[in-house]
Amino acid sequence: MIQNIKNWFFALVDDYMHARYGKRKSVLFKDHPKEVIEIGAGYGANFRYLKSGTRVIAVEPNSSLRDILKKRAERFGIILEIHHGGAEELLIPDNHVEMVLGSLVLCSVNDPIQVVSEIKRVLKAGGRFAYLEHVKAREGSWVYGIQRMVRKPWKCFFDGCHVTRDTGKLIQNSGFKNVDQQAFNSRTIFVPIIPHISGVAVK
């Protein structure tokens, strides 16, 4: 019974996330190599945008998601390797892959600067970091005012999620050779996460 409820919940979340981000993710992740690293793989929401036969090193500290990650990988033909450590210290060699994926994860890691540094370390020269994140709103805007008002309870309720983290600026200042980044607003009733960015940073 509990497992059926979990399956129903993840299916509902997956449909919602695909409707909100599917087209943008399809563009971000296209032409990906045969092996990628995904930080904060969660329940495997991004597997549907990858070619069957892709090898994914999935970095996900929540060990309770292991089974659903495996099921999603099987469903989409993904060759899966799960790492349960945090993204602040990737147990992966330097210059290892041509692409790292991350979506809606840098808002909740403990040390985003260290995570981005690790992403750069494991990327080969010319490798790409493809990302999608919700971010801090423009200071002085009404959305930013709401973000500041709810940031503490939001962080507690949503597993460490920071709504005022300036992730876009962080990535742009992280020493990538090139950052192609776009800002957009998500059509959501959850006001604190309306502002978003997506982009590709090249090492």
Residues 145-202: pLDDT tens digits?
999 999 999 999 888 899 999 999 999 999 999 999 999 999 888 899 999 999 999 9
Task: For the chain, give the percent of residues with pLDDT over 90.
Answer: 81
DSSP assignment string, the chain:
-HHHHHHHHHHHHHHHHHHHHHHHHHHHTTT--SEEEEET-TTTTTGGGS-TT-EEEEE-S-GGGHHHHHHHHHHHT-EEEEE-S-TTS--S-TT-EEEEEEES-TTTSS-HHHHHHHHHHHEEEEEEEEEEEE-PPPTTSHHHHHHHHHHHHHHHHTTT--TT--HHHHHHTS--SEEEEEEEE---S-GGG-EEEEEEEE-
Does the predicted TM-score (pTM) go above 0.85?
A: yes
pLDDT-derived band at 18 (thresholds 50, 70, 90) equals confident
Q: Where residue 19 falls among pLDDT bands split at 50, 70, 90?
A: confident
